[in-house]
């Protein structure tokens, strides 16, 4: 990694990955590539920023060529709940956009990191400790596009030798940038509501277990996988990674240890509940552990303390 481009730069993951990469590699070596949404002042002023549209290959190639990019973290995407509202857009951005990035990577000899998701699993997938290699028959357009993406990335590696790597992220919890329309967004909202109003109404049912991870671990996973010795990688796209399997009431119980008066209520959103019901309760990430030493640093309790503390600090400073 000498010169990196991060697409989806203004999104939940991009906005946190970029500062970490800039600290490691130097600000000028990391090109933040956003799409339409205006970036925060701190992102804009901390290094190079460009607008691209990954569905237009010329805009991707132009940045890679002009900045001599050798590594692409491709985070530009449409997420699960947003995808169900706009399936055509979801397919176009997630599949055509990725195809364009891979084509540019092939032509300009770049490595590519592309996150996949637990959304690539479907109702027929084993639900508990879902294996690395298993049945993937998702019934959301997001899942369909992400399975296609995993296969496309493997194909570009096998057929053209492009160094493609990826993880299947679970729901990601962070406090810096709001999530972008995923099914697990409740796990971010619950913390903000706990600090501000001491109560939260959840759109998923009690007992809906899903895997989750704190953002610092997600960032480490992306960087550690890209820095891993390729000869150790039997898989490439995409590794199961997880930190915890939680349901709304288990997060609420962890919050109550810090804010005892916190109250959790339910008002179910059928669209997001159906998506969550089609995903695993927990996934097995032993392949990532074995092949590139994956280990999460945070569990539910340590994450909850850190998120609540930081939300409070941010609100007070405003």
The contact set with ligand NAD (CB under 6 A) reads: 7-8, 10-14, 35-37, 52-55, 75-77, 79, 93, 97, 115, 117, 169, 171-172, 179-180, 182, 184
Rank residues 80 and 304 by Cβ distance to ligand NAD and give the closer one.
80
Tokens for 34, please give them: 């956003």
- Tell me how far the alpha carbon of residue 12 is from its chain's centroid: 8
- In this structure, are residues 45 and 22 in contact, taking their beta carbons and an 8 Å threshold? no
Is residue 182 within 8 A of residue 171, CB to CB? The reply is yes
> Closest separation between CB of residue 306 and ligand NAD, Å?
17
- Return the number of the residue (8 or 296) whose C-beta is nearest ligand NAD: 8
Min. distance of Cβ 221 from ligand NAD in angstroms?
Answer: 11
What is the Cα–Cα distance from 254 to 17, expressed in whole angstroms?
Answer: 27
Which residue, 118 or 252, has its beta carbon nearer to ligand NAD?
118
Q: Which residue in the list 73, 142, 169, 203 is annotated as catalytic?
A: 142
Minimum gap (Å) between residue 251 Cβ and ligand NAD: 14
What's the min distance (Å) between Cβ of 88 and ligand NAD? 13
CA dist., res. 242 & res. 297, Å (int): 11
Q: Between 166 and 292, whose beta carbon lies closer to ligand NAD? A: 166
**Of 197 and 299, which has the nearer Cβ to ligand NAD?**
299
Question: 142 is written with which tokens?
Answer: 């997001």
Closest residue by Cα to residue 181 from 201, 198, 166, 203: 203
- Is-catalytic flag, 298? no
Q: Which one, of 72, 84, 30, 35, lies nearest residue 55 by Cα?
A: 35
| Burial zone of 158 (CB within 10 Å; 0-12 exposed, 13-18 middle, 19+ buried) | exposed
Q: What tokens does 162 get?
A: 């492009």
3-state secondary structure 254-316: HHHHHCCCCEEEECCCHHHHHHHHCCCCCECCHHHHHHHCCCCCCCHHHHHHHHHHHHHHHHH
Active site residues: 142
């Amino acid at each position: 990694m000498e010169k990196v481009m991060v697409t989806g730069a203004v999104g939940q993951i991009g906005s946190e990955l970029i500062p970490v990469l800039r600290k490691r590699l130097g600000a000028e070596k990391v090109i933040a590539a956003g799409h339409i949404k205006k970036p925060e002042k701190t992102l804009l002023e901390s290094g190079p920023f460009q607008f691209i549209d990954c569905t237009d290959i010329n805009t991707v190639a132009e940045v890679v060529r002009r900045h001599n990019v050798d590594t692409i973290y491709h985070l530009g995407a449409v997420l699960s709940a947003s995808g169900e509202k706009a399936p055509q857009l979801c397919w176009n951005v997630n599949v055509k956009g990725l195809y364009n990035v891979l084509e540019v990577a092939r032509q300009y000899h770049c490595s590519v990191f592309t996150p996949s998701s637990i959304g690539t699993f479907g109702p027929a997938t084993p639900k508990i400790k879902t294996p690395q290699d298993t049945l993937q028959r998702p019934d959301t357009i997001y899942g369909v596009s992400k399975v296609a993406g995993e296969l496309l990335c493997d194909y570009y590696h096998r057929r053209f030798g492009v160094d493609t790597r990826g993880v299947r992220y679970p729901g990601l919890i962070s406090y810096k940038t709001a999530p972008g329309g995923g099914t697990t967004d409740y796990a971010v909202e619950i913390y903000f509501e706990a600090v501000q109003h001491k109560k939260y109404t959840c759109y998923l049912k009690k007992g809906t277990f899903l895997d989750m991870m704190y953002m610092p671990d997600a960032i480490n996973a992306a960087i550690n996988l890209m820095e891993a010795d390729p000869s150790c990688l039997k898989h490439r796209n995409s590794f199961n990674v997880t930190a915890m399997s939680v349901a709304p009431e288990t997060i609420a119980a962890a919050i109550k240890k810090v804010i005892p008066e916190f109250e959790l209520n339910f008002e179910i959103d059928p669209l997001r509940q159906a998506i969550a019901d089609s995903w695993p309760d927990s996934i097995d990430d032993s392949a990532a552990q074995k092949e590139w030493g994956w280990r999460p640093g945070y569990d539910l309790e340590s994450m909850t303390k850190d998120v609540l503390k930081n939300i409070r600090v941010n609100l007070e400073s405003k």
